[in-house]
């Protein structure tokens, strides 16, 4: 519990620099990659959309812009620092109607089957210990039948300095298994979702991994998440 509080504190502090860090790291805080994720998420009609580990809300915002006006868009993060910056930025830009929720992604405060689409950008690999597999089961639980989970992840940086900083950061936040996960997302998703696809986006620094929940009950009940 204390470690979770420390991690939250780390993200609260990081939120002050986060958008600038992302611009330096990838050249695009709210640009084409996150927008591509939002566009793929909303290309099939969805009434309720959840953006997990939403940080300062770049994807949440793009979801609100690309989805039909009556879509409910929820941004969830455990860091109040990240959420409050996201909320302020989106409101400054005149976009309203996003609901912001402070919660742990591994214990989603939602009923079963309420979301048509769940997104998560650049966060799964940072989750610690069992949190990632628990969160995948939580996502499957919160998704409606036939719903989709789209996660955007990094390809590990090839430039030496960025690669070194990337691994230092993983070490600081204690993201165990992150290196293995970044190469094995399809297998990890396959333990929870019956249909999985992976798409690397140009210029090859990011990818989207999609897991779809079955439309009918028997196939959907994966052993990994049996409760
Ligand atoms: C690298 S940032 C990604 C933010 C955002 N999705 C984006 O595209 O910029 C990772 C985010 O995950 C959040 N996070 C990490 N562990 C979490 C957890 N267990 N539950 C909820 N949020 C978490 C952090 O607070 C942070 O905002």
The answer to whether the CB of 54 is under 6 A from ligand 1 is: yes
Task: Report how many domains make up the chain.
Answer: 1
Ligand 1 atom closest to the CA of 152, numbered from 1: 8
Give the ligand 1 atom nearest the CA of 82: 27
Does residue 227 lie within any of the structural domains? no
Mutate which of 5, 26, 55, 76 for ligand 1 pocket (most atoms within 8 A of beta carbon): 55
Task: Tell me whether residue 73 is in a domain.
Answer: yes
pTM exceeding 0.85: yes
State which residues form the domain around 129.
2-220
Question: CA angle at residue 156 from 37 to 64, to 5 degrees?
Answer: 15
Better-scored residue on pLDDT, 51 or 227: 51
What CATH number is given to the structural domain containing 135? 3.40.50.150
pLDDT of residue 88: 93
Instruction: Tell me the pLDDT band of 27, cut-offs 50, 70 and 90.
Output: low
Hey, which of 78, 89, 173 would you mutate to test ligand 1's pocket, going by the most ligand atoms within 8 Å of its Cβ? Answer: 78
């Amino acid at each position: 519990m204390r470690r979770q509080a420390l991690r939250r504190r780390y993200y609260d502090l990081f939120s002050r620099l986060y958008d600038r860090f992302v611009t330096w790291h990838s050249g695009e805080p709210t640009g084409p990659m996150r927008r591509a994720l939002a566009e793929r998420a909303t290309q099939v009609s969805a009434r309720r959309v959840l953006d997990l580990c939403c940080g300062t809300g770049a994807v949440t915002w793009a979801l609100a812009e690309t989805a039909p006006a009556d879509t409910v868009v929820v941004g969830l993060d455990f860091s109040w620092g990240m959420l409050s910056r996201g909320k302020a930025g989106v409101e400054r830009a005149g976009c309203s109607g996003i609901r912001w929720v402070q919660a742990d992604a591994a214990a989603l405060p939602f009923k079963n089957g309420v979301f048509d689409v769940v997104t998560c950008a650049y966060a799964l690999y940072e989750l610690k210990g069992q949190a990632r597999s628990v969160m995948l089961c939580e996502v499957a639980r919160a998704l409606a039948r036939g719903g989709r989970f789209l996660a955007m992840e990094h390809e590990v940086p090839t430039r030496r300095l960025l690669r070194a900083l990337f691994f230092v950061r993983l070490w600081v936040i204690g993201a165990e298994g992150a290196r293995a996960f970044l190469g094995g997302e399809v297998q990890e998703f396959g333990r929870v979702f019956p249909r999985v696809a992976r798409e690397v986006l140009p210029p090859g620094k990011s990818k989207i991994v999609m897991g779809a929940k079955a439309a009918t009950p028997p196939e959907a009940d994966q052993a990994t998440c049996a409760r």
